[in-house]
Structure 1
Amino acid sequence: MITEFLQALSTQSFLQMALIAGLLASLGCGVVGTFVVVKRITFLAGGIAHSVLAGMGAAAYYGFDPLLGALVAAILSALLMGWIHLHWQAQEDTLIGALWAIGMAIGLLFISQTPGYTSNLTSYLFGNILLVPEQDLWLMAGLNVLLLLLVGLFYHQFLAVIFDEEFARLRNVPVTFFYLLLLCLIAVTVVLLIHVVGLILVIALLTLPAAIAGHYVHSLGKMMVIATVLGSIFTSGGLALSYAPDLPAGPTIILLAGSAYVGSEIVRRYRAQRLARRSIASL
């Protein structure tokens, strides 16, 4: 199975572009997914991800690139949900859930009115890494550069906002600005992952590699590196495993990542119980 994939990879340009797309997406999900896991804002990230369909549908209806529409919608929904988190915490879950549903409903309505576009809906909902066009690879690369640049410039500010907002305020760090900027980085990463695993599964790839990394290291920087490597393994491995039996690559990638997470969680709990027994025995 793997041998067949490697042989095809050496000659088929669409597989080469799919592999590059997976690696580019892994970089974004490794860096930003670590923030999502540590800050515990997975639900917020899910709301941003599923609201993106409104922008994609509107862009397709008016004749623009759906990925650009996704980027605009993702950033707008990130800012809106960030404002809700900061000012309406009592109703936060309900409001984000409502925006999540409204965004998808608007997107579906636009798509239903776009001639000839409905057949491509599944490629955005479930992902189709084998059909990533070259111009989208350039867009993904540019978004990765933007992500790394912003994280590199404001790493310590993000660190303060994630671990101790009150301390950050005492140090005169503009917490609201950096919190909203973090949500915008999540929005950009969601757009990176759309082609790879689709809107429905995007949160899994955003969080699972970072969650696995968190089982073994506690340094934010090390988590980012390990999560990026794991994301690359999952996207490349899922692509390889799905090629020969002609399975959809997106769900295969998520199944591989999910299985790895479950296995890692079992190992982590076993090690914790073993250490606890040793500690009791030594008393």
Structure 2
Amino acid sequence: MPPEGRITRFAPSPTGPLHLGHAYAALIAAQRAGAGQFLLRIEDIDQSRCRADYEAQIYDDLRWLGLTWPMPVMRQSTRAPAYRAALARLAGLGVLYPCACSRADIRAALSAPQESAPVHGPDGLVYPGTCRARPMAQAQPDDALRLNLRAALARVPALSFHEAGPLHAPLQPLNPDWMLEHVGDVVLSRRDMGTSYHLSVVVDDAAQGISEVTRGDDLFEASFIHILLQALLELPQPSYYHHKLIRDSEGKRLAKRDDARAIAQFRSDGATPQDIRLMLGL
């Protein structure tokens, strides 16, 4: 899609200060929008960790970097009805099941002597399928809801997506066997949120008309889940642009707890927006 037609977004969670990695992601998204539209979305479904002062700092730092976006912004905390509707549709397709397993339960199941070495996927350890046979009629209020990946893939075979970024080939087919082993039955609704990152990002991107998703290369495998969900929910599939991650001197990706690289700290030390762009190779 030509730059003038792109709609991109930056979707931070207000759970800590923005750092250089966030600045890079936001600037790339705005750059990729070109003459189109750059949107801001606040991903605040984890209300236990989100803070108003962090959200205010997000707006202030992004404006300081020279970015603008339409107001009001979309907030995930107001989108519960849309997420419930998507879950109901997936349940109707027979690709959803309730799961009562804790993280400790999953670790214990995967450490059993008859099990092969655990595989790590986009959500951590790939779920061993302990609750897969449970019907939705048995769902309890404290259950998570998982995607039955095998059943989902059977409904939408031969999926592929367009990768516009510099790190991967332009056309990426989804390999069902690889996904079953390396992705597994991801959580689509968590006990305390009523949704999950995978579900909310798909529903919200469609609602905002996002035509190109820009994100870090660490989320490349998660994009496979999102493309599958888009097909199941009959939502438009955007193109994807997976960019590099900004790392520290030891090669570790930056985290919100890394206050030394927070945009607010650079500002306090006298840096200019141009200094930040130069640090990021922009």
TM bracket (short chain):
under 0.3
More helix by share: 1
More strand by share: 2
Q: TM-score, normalised by structure 1?
A: 0.25
Query: Relative contact order (C-alpha < 8 Å, sep 6+): which is higher?
Result: 1
Q: TM-score, normalised by structure 2?
A: 0.25
